[in-house]
Amino acid sequence: MSRKNKKVALTVEERCRAIFGDEPPVRYVWEPEFDYADKELQALAATDWRDITEHQLSCYYVLNLVYNEPMQPELFRYLFPLCLAKWRERLLEDADRDHFDESLLQALRRPYLWREMMDASQRRQVRAFIIDTMLARMDNERGFGVSLSWLSVFNDIGGTAPVMRIIWSRWWSLDSVGKAVCALQYAAHLIYACDDNILGGGAGWYHPLSYSDAWSQENWVFLYGALTPGKILEGVQAAAEKLRGEPEEDIAARIAQDALNAVEIITIQIEDVLTELACGT
């Protein structure tokens, strides 16, 4: 292939901007900034996208996504893709969750954004981006630490678009070591009582698999059919097999063995998780 015809990989920002037609900077802004920083938002909108930081988006735009209605379409098309890109970068870097991450996921729960601010093609591509980002984060997981930063994001995504059927099926295909590690981290919270979990991370007043607002109806209905004791037991054994020869092998084998003797507690905890995700916590 000649150098002229060779494709150059897009950056994450370029991928997200392409979804929304590579919107140019916005010179006239009529939408107010949520905390009355209108001048700062106007300056941000006129800034070249390459120079816009996550801090600026966090300070002057992300809360607009959560609360404002109506929203300025061209402003949304210019700044929302950058928010998506920064969210992915932070998640894959395993950065501590902060105001920006939580606000963006809260915004993605709003039907207004999906119905009024995106067309059908954009909705489809944003959903695909969320799916790809979540699975990429799972692929990166190693070890059995107690932070489980991916899990809180997974829980929150359940309340957004109807993406769980694809995320779950691709996750439990266990086609990477990282997905197998995540599967056992998740399953351990069903196999063991909170205080007895060999991976640690006691949950206190909430169950870690349902520590979020309620899931959307479509995602919850899918989980209701997918999260069963039989499927968890089968998945745990497959995940432990995937981890043979890996540093996680010994702990994985123990979790797989303990699961065989924990059908009753798995059943009870699945019922609790499903109830809490349907009603909120």
- Is the omega angle on the peptide bond into residue 70 within 30 degrees of 0, that is, cis? yes
CA distance 171 to 181: 10
Q: Running DSSP on this structure, what letter comes out for residue 211?
A: -
pLDDT at 280: 53
| Residue whose C-alpha is closest to residue 122's, from 20, 15, 22 | 20
CA distances 16 to 9, 85, 178, 211, 266, Å, are 13, 6, 25, 29, 40
Structure tokens at 75: 């402003």
pLDDT at 264: 97
| Residue whose C-alpha is closest to residue 267's, from 278, 275, 256, 255 | 275
pLDDT at 1: 46
Is-contact 273 207, C-beta < 8 A?
yes
| Residue whose C-alpha is closest to residue 102's, from 221, 222, 211, 223 | 211
Indicate the length of the chain as a whole number.
281
Q: Running DSSP on this structure, what letter comes out for residue 162?
A: S
- 3 state SS of 93: coil
pLDDT per 10-residue tile (average), the chain, 281 residues: 66 98 98 98 98 98 98 98 98 93 97 98 98 98 87 96 98 98 97 88 70 92 98 98 98 98 97 87 45
